[in-house]
Amino acid sequence: MKVLLTGAAGGMGLESLKQMTEDSGSYQIVALDLDSERCRERLKPYERNSRVQTLFGDLTDAAFVEKAVRGCDLILHVAAFVSPAADYHPKKAMEVNFGGTRNLIEAVKKLGQNDTTHFVYIGTVAETGDRMPPIHWGRVGDPIKPSMFDYYAVSKIAAERYVIESGLKYWVSLRQTGIMGPAMAKVRDAIQFHNCLDNVLEYVSDRDSGRLMCHLAAYTENGALPEEFWGHIYNIGGGPSCRVDTFTMYKLMYREIGIKNIDYVIDPKVNATLNFHGQYYLDSDKLENYLHFRSDSMQYFYDAYLKELGAAKPFGKIICKLPGGQKLMGTIIKSTFKKHLNSQHGTKHFIDANMEDHIDAYWGSRKRWEALPKKASQMDHFTDWDKVIPIDHGYDESKSENELTLSDLQGAAEFRGGKCLSEAMEKGDWQSKQTFRCAFGHTFEASPRLVLEGGHWCPECERRSWNYGARAKADPFFAQVWNPLHGPDEMREYPKEVTELDV
């Protein structure tokens, strides 16, 4: 078996390659990444491995992609232009994330491999965006809702739609969560302050992500993956031991250097309260039951964080034991945040420059920002983390897939504020496209798989803008993930500066 691994020199890709080469399987690996000094250096240790062929080029080059795809039985499409870099370069994010995915799929088709090549797309938790408490539990099929200004998510959503509707016989979309490990411990960017204090994530480690890819390749080769695994969307999550809220995570991290009073280091006025992706998963066990990849807990990240601190940990502990030491240490740490907070995407910059659209997106309004306390200890933090508010998907999910009828689809469309215009559908057919109209009058085609399992809806609405306030008033399905966090007067529409049609 021949396996193409894209993004092989990246965080998830390199860990995947490492574990795949240590695996006892006999499959051959084409390790693909950009032709750069960094990528060549990171892949150099594998050049003498008889199972590995290193390949350097750009996924936006269709001719190069066709050569890479030829003869491949399994494509693990890990490569992506990710945040925070994607926040600064939206067009490049779309070119790489959507354009690269499209090139891979079209190459598979052009080569006549659409019934044989197994295509694995790595999506993202960012597709469903802000799921702050009390709607912090989610699953596949919940509304697609990328956060405002998150062009990484926008590009990945467009790419996932393309994958699901590709017509390939064997595909899956695996929505990756936050990847914890040494790389996460090194992040220093304004995006740190977009992550809300009461936000949650069910993380997964880089090692477990690599193990997931390794097992996927091995199980595909030895036939251990059942046929029904393919043609679906899954959430990647590390399980209960990897679930944490941001405030608790920060408290644990700062306590390691001796800061017990969190007020010395966290300023609620510079942390967003809305508009950042994250959720706990109701369904992440589903993928674990297929691929058996979980081994790490949040402790793995805390250990990586302490290693990154190095000598700063004992230094901090000494300082914090002195009178006024915690406050001094907090002041030192906060001073390192200033350049990020005042940068182009810094939350303090949004406020100081009175960027009304960003203020509305990240806090709801200036009034809501002004109401925030000056101390983290004065915040009314959410605590009922185990409470689940289920999201209704608008059809009878207790029925088996082969029982899906046109009537089910019509009811789901009405629940989304629209209408299913198709007059006939073969019972149990999740793949054939049907015709819909959204609440805003756009007519489009989509498969039941895309709409019901993927949570996607109108592509025209998705392309034009973030029109969430208006959509929530017309779409009961979407209102479930908007109204609990926003007031009825939050009607700002945010135009998008790039779409997949620009690529």
Sequence spans of domains, the chain = 2-244+279-298, 245-275+316-378, 403-502
Q: Quick one: tokens of 87?
A: 């926040």
Report the top-level CATH class of 2-244+279-298: alpha beta
Task: Tell me, yes or no, if the pTM score tops 0.95.
Answer: yes
Rg (CA), the chain: 23
Q: Report the pLDDT value the prediction gives residue 309, as an integer from 0 to 100.
A: 87
Q: Report the pLDDT value the prediction gives residue 311, as an integer from 0 to 100.
A: 87
Q: Report the pLDDT value the prediction gives residue 263, as an integer from 0 to 100.
A: 95
* 133 C-beta neighbours (distance < 10 Å), count: 20
Angle between helices 298-309 and 246-255 (to 10 degrees): 40
Characterize the bridge pairing of strands 200-202 and 2-6: unpaired
How many contiguous H segments (helices) and E segments (strands) does the chain have? 23, 18
Q: Report the pLDDT value the prediction gives residue 363, as an integer from 0 to 100.
A: 98
CA gap 473, 479 in Å, rounded = 7
Residues of the chain short of pLDDT 70, as ranges, are: none
CA gap 59, 13 in Å, rounded = 15
pLDDT, tens digit, 9 for 90 and up, residues 358-414: 999 999 999 999 999 999 999 999 999 999 999 999 999 999 999 999 999 999 999
Q: Report the pLDDT value the prediction gives residue 453, as an integer from 0 to 100.
A: 98
Three-state secondary structure call for residue 456: coil
Is-contact 59 159, C-beta < 8 A? no
- DSSP code, position 64: H
pLDDT, tens digit, 9 for 90 and up, residues 124-142: 999 999 999 999 999 999 9
Alpha helices in 353-420 (DSSP H): 356-363, 366-370, 406-415
- Four-CA torsion 371, 374, 378, 384, nearest 10 degrees: 60
Q: Report the pLDDT value the prediction gives residue 187, as an integer from 0 to 100.
A: 87
Three-state secondary structure call for residue 25: coil
CA gap 73, 61 in Å, rounded = 21
* 384 C-beta neighbours (distance < 10 Å), count: 8
